[in-house]
Structure 1
Amino acid sequence: MAHKPKIPCDSLFPTAKQDATNVSYDYGSVQSSSPSYRLAYDDFDFIMRDELRPVRLQLELLKPELTQLEHNIQATIVVFGSARIPDYQDAQQVLTYAEQAYQAQPQNERLKQELGYAQKAAIKSRYYEEARNLSRLITVEAKKLEWSVVVVTGGGPGIMEAANRGAADVAGKSIGLNIVLPGEQKPNPYITPELCFQFHYFAIRKMHFLMRAIALVAFPGGYGTLDELFETLTLIQTRKVRRVPVILFGRDYWDKIINFDALVDEGAISQCDRELVQYAESADEAWAIILENYTNGNNHKGQKNE
């Protein structure tokens, strides 16, 4: 007697996706045309209700988590920095235009201010190149380690673009954690497409920055960079996450923006808290700090921050 082939258990029932695809919502009756008849997970208006915020938070946590698991992303190095720092070529073009505009109208205060910004942007453009170099270095050198390390950024322009670009330069993967903003932040073209995520909630996005982080490098930036930097320092200080290297790139900039020593003098933080940050001026310096921490066994392989 011939044996019938076994039917996999998971094929006995239609999947949620099959039901959502195959179901007919409107059978021409008042009942079937009612919004209440629609499958809950296939009802956009229902999912968007204020009461469903906890569900949306969970979905936003799970989607990047499951995708990274599928791609075997075990560890990340986070690169923060301003979206307003251009590469050298773009910075020089803007500077040339600003100089010409100001020379034509030297009494125009707005043009004078724009020239000042362009001059500073041209000086800071070196950070774009260093972020790109660092990401390239991380991606190449990580291949020599026991397990994969991937660069992750906020997914936008400026320093974020530079870091994603560095990984792409050497055919490496990199992650972009974009977020919906009023100015519409669009993903830069160097993120690995299947690792390009979009968030609504800042809290969940910042959690994903740190969940697999073995180091954080903060380049010069504004409110967003400062927010991410201080949240990281607070979580390390309060031992909500394990200690990882926090590297501030460009000491002159950071000493001008944040007076950590004054916080110690005022008793607002301890000297141990002050020592949570280190400084680097080049990609090689930053990588040396990260590698020293990694090789000293402080990387906590396979452990994620919760």
Structure 2
Amino acid sequence: MTEKHRLHDANFPSAREEASPRETEYPPAYRLAFNDQDFLLREELRGLRFHLELQKPEMTLKEHGVDATIAIFGSARYLSPDQAKAASAAAEASGDPAVIRRAKRDERNSHYYDQARRLGQLVTEHSMNCAKPEQIYVVTGGGPGIMEAANRGAQDAGGPSIGLNIVLPHEQAPNPYISPEFCFRFHYFGIRKMHFMLRAKAVVVFPGGFGTFDELFEALTLIQTGKSRRVPVLLVGHEFWGKAINLEFLRDEGVISPEDVNMIKVVDNADSAWQEIIDFYDLSPGRAPSC
């Protein structure tokens, strides 16, 4: 039988086709460079690894048509109300005053978990009723606490969400509410933070520690310097942020411009944060297919 030739077959075999598992039978030097992990992890190839960490999520998100996100930041340490209540009961049983104080604090702060979950739900409900170009996806750092809550809210609404996890000395697993196809892991903080801002149409920041502040001030610096276009930067919780950040003091000391004070807005709940985003972009809160 005459061999059939297809017009659009590739002229060259793919790298995948030539990455033979039999390479392990030969000395390491014989392995194809792109199939040699020891080679790829050399110090001299750090720049290549930067590029790979940029490209893997970028290509995946583009393939799925993800163009717009809401970046939600906040503490990995905050518990859900159920977890906090159980921990408080256990603390009371211990009789240790210091343990009881910490448990009561965690129970008081657990409402932020609920608000982050609510925000994830609001954003995703909007997107589930929009045509593809208008869809907005929740993106978090992929870990526990506020991150888990926002991803969980998206799942509550029946939609996908994104998690950008990071390798840490104390191993951090991705929370179970991230969509599997959007569950990414990074070695480099800088590339991870770049991905947070590449598609962010708003940044919503719940109370948190050093990591949360790093993410917040990364966004503010990019906007202030014109490296990023202006997007809403919303801080949730007057009680926390009124003590944690004082932009008026920085303005009065002359280290930021007077208009920089207006780069952030403090709100007290998820509904207010979502309304700020709706107003900024003139989004329709209705359920028309095209929004």
Q: What is the TM-score with the length of structure 2 in the denominator?
A: 0.92
Give the counterpart of 2:91 among 98, 107, 110: 98
**Aligned partner (choices 237, 251, 261) of residue 274 of structure 1:** 261
User: What does the per-residue CA deviation read over 1:212-253, in whole Å, with 9 as the maximum and x for residues that have no partner?
Assistant: 000010001001000000111011000111110000000110
Distance 1:99 1:53 in 2: 50
Give how far 1:115 is off. Answer: 2.0
Distance in 1, matches of 2:178 and 2:7, equals 38
Which residue of 1 is the match for residue 244 of structure 2? 257
AA partner of residue 113 (structure 1): A
Residue matched to 2:210: 223
Distance 2:24 2:18 in 1: 11
Matched residue, 2:118: 133
Q: Which residue of 38, 56, 72 maps to 2:49?
A: 56
Equivalent of 1:142 in 103, 108, 127: 127
The equivalent of 1:106 in structure 2 is: none
Task: Give the secondary-structure state (helix, strand or coil) at the position aligned to 1:117.
Answer: helix
State how far apart, in whole Å, the 1-side matches of 2:36 and 2:30 are.
9
Amino acid at match of 1:121: D
Q: Aligned letter for 2:53? A: E
Match status 1:114 vs 2:113:
no
Structure 2 gap segments, 5+ residues each: 284-291
Distance 1:3 1:39, change over 3 A: closer
Shift of 1:112: 2.7
CA distance in 2, matches of 1:224, 1:8: 53
Cα displacement string for residues 23-48 of structure 1 (whole angstroms, at most 9, x for unaligned residues): 6464xxxxxx3322110001111000
CA distance in 1, matches of 2:130, 2:257: 35
**Matched letter for residue 137 of structure 1:** L
Matches of residues 195-234 of structure 1 in structure 2 within 5 Å? 195-234=182-221
SS of residue matched to 2:164: strand
Cα gap change, 1:224 to 1:5, in 2 (>3 Å): same
Residues 224 and 24 of structure 1, relative CA distance in 2, 3 Å threshold: closer
Letter in 1 for 2:44: E
Alpha-carbon distance in structure 2 between the residues aligned to 1:222 and 1:115: 22
Three-state SS of the structure 2 residue aligned to 1:11 is: coil
Against the structure 1 CA distance between its residues 85 and 22, is the aligned structure 2 distance closer, same or farther, given a 3 Å change threshold?
Answer: closer
Given candidates 80, 88, 98, the residue that maps to 2:81 is 88
Q: Tell me the equivalent position of 2:288.
A: none
Report the counterpart of residue 303 of structure 1 in structure 2. Answer: none
Counterpart code for 2:127:
A
Q: 1:138 to 1:275 in 2, by over 3 A?
A: same
Query: Can you list the C-alpha shifts for 1:140-183, whole angstroms capped at 9, x where unaligned?
Result: 12344451100000000000000000000111000000011011
Which residue in 1 is equivalent to 2:12?
13
Aligned length: 281
Give identity over the alignment, percent: 51
For 2:153, the equivalent position in structure 1 comes to 166
Amino acid at match of 1:36: A
Distance 1:44 1:178 in 2: 22
Please give the alpha-carbon distance, in whole angstroms, between the structure 1 residues aligned to 2:164 and 2:179: 11
Question: Distance between the aligned counterparts of 1:34 and 1:190, measured in 2?
Answer: 43
In 2, the alpha carbon distance for the partners of 1:25 and 1:277 equals: 55
1: distance between equivalents of 2:174 and 2:206?
19
Alpha-carbon distance in 1 for matches of 2:37, 2:155 = 36
- Give the TM-score taking structure 1 as reference length: 0.88
Which residue matches 1:301? Answer: none
Structural RMSD (CA): 1.7
- 2:212 is matched by which residue type in structure 1? T
The aligned residue for residue 29 of structure 1 is: none
